[in-house]
Amino acid sequence: MEPLTVIIILVFVLIIPNVKIVPQAKAVVIERMGSYFTTWSNGLHFKLPFIDRIASSVILKEKVRDFAPQPVITKDNVTMQIDTVVYFQITDPKLFTYGVDDPIAAIESLTATTLRNIIGDLELDQTLTSRDIINTKMRAILDEASDPWGIKVNRVEVKNILPPREIQEAMEKQMRAERERRESILRAEGEKRSAILVAEGEKQSAILRAEAKKESQVREAEGEAEALVKVKQAEADGIRLIKEANPDQNVLTLKGLDTLAEMANGTATKIIVPSDLQNVATLSTTISEMFKEKN
């Protein structure tokens, strides 16, 4: 066999299989002669043939595990099913490889045990309303317990809490009653508000009617007063014109007769007519004088 052929065979058998490229977010644990030797990070690496071997290849990215529902019992002896989601990340490939056999199964068992311990200290109502507290406690306990395994627990979420069917029916009835109560309160508040608005409207309407009536009466009184003033003004103007005209005895006599006629129209006026018609002129003169005195 030619030397070149031997070299090529050695390259393919000894060199190429022992050259490894580790990608990003991965780590490779190397053993030498059966013992831990080193951990390869991303990049190009070479291991000794027949001496070094790859013990494990670990993904360093964050992982998510949705564990099956676990039966738990509350402090008030209610059995329910709770499933959890755990977010974790491998921080030490060596501890992850040698710390515990099947780390994922170990985390699942630890999650179930921790969940039972926490729920056992809570009553049903507290369990349903304290998810944040449960998540925080579980994350702290799991993170501390998984440190020797090279695992960091970043987050724990309670996904579903499933109480027994009879408990669910009772809760649904309670929620339905609560909704009906709120609906009744809202309806009563709406009716109250509507009644208040109607009363306020009637009050404003009554006030406006009273103000309108008052204004009408004021305007009517002002109109009557203005009319009376104008009548008196007209009478005064008439008298002034008569005085300025300087009427003679005949005009005064006629004016006195007009006044006598007006007086005769009154219901409480009595006029004595003399039997001697010749005294009519004298009566007219007397009335005229009375008219002058009146003016």
Sign of the torsion formed by the C-alpha atoms of 40, 42, 45 and 50: positive
Helix (H, G, I), strand (E, B) or coil at 36: strand
Which of 154-168, 220-234, 251-265 is the least confident region?
Answer: 251-265
Residue listed under structure tokens 């030797």: 37
287 has a pLDDT exceeding 60? no
Over 90: is that where the pLDDT of 28 sits?
Answer: yes
Contact 161, 82 (CB under 8 A): yes
Collapsing DSSP states into helix, strand and coil, what is residue 226? helix
Per-residue pLDDT band at 278 (split at 50, 70, 90) = very low
* Average pLDDT, integer, range 27-56: 90
Q: Looking at residue 266, what is its pLDDT?
A: 54
Complete domains list, the chain, with CATH:
3-59 (no CATH), 63-163 (3.30.479.30), 247-295 (no CATH)
Residue type, 202: E
pLDDT of 254 higher than 90: no
Q: What are the tokens at 8?
A: 């090529």
Q: Each residue of 64-84: pLDDT tens digit?
A: 998 888 888 888 888 888 889
Residue 55 has pLDDT above 60, yes or no: yes
- Contact 20/28 with Cβ under 8 angstroms? yes
C-alpha to C-alpha distance for 114 and 93, rounded to whole angstroms: 25
- Within 13 Å and on the Cβ side, how many CA atoms surround 75? 10
* pLDDT reported for residue 248: 59
What average pLDDT does this structure show over 29-42? 91
pTM: 0.55
| Cα atoms in the 13 Å half-sphere on the side-chain side of 163 | 18
- pLDDT tier at 208 (50, 70, 90 boundaries)? confident
Rounded CA gap, 120 and 114, in Å? 10
Residue 280, pLDDT score: 47
What is the mean pLDDT of the segment spanning 218-223?
85
Locate 150 and state its tokens.
Answer: 């090279």
The upper half-sphere exposure of residue 220, i.e. CA atoms within 13 Å in the direction of its Cβ, equals 6
pLDDT surpasses 90 at 165: no
